[in-house]
Amino acid sequence: MESYRFVVRGKVQEVFYRKFVAQNLRKLGIQGYVRNLPDGTVEVVVRATEEELPGIERVLYEGSPMSEVESVERESLEEDDLLFDGFEIRY
C-alpha cells in the first residue's frame, strides 16, 4: 500500500463534503482522513493500493449533493509511516 494526498477544489466547504467523503471511503474500506484547509480546499490523505485509486477519485469527484467539485489533484506521499485506524474527519 502507498500513501496519497488529494486536494479538492471547488465548493467543498460547509456543504457536508467531508462527511460524504468519510462515509463513502469507510464503505470502501479505505484508511485515512479528510480535513478542510484554510484556503477553502479540502485535503484527503489515504493509504491505498493502485487498484483502489479509481474508486477513491470517483467518490471525491462525486461529492455531496450541495458540493461542486472543480478539480482533484493527487500526489504520492513519501511518508509511508502514516498510521490510520479507519477513516476520520479531522478538524
* Cα separation, 2 vs 61, whole angstroms: 21
* Cα separation, 80 vs 5, whole angstroms: 12
Domain ranges within the chain, ordered by starting residue: 2-90
The type of residue at 65 is P
Model-level pTM?
Answer: 0.94
Domain 2-90, CATH: 3.30.70.100
Catalytic positions are 18, 36
**For each of the chain's 91 residues, which pLDDT tens digit applies?**
899 999 999 999 999 999 999 999 999 999 999 999 999 999 999 999 999 999 999 999 999 999 999 999 999 998 666 667 899 999 8
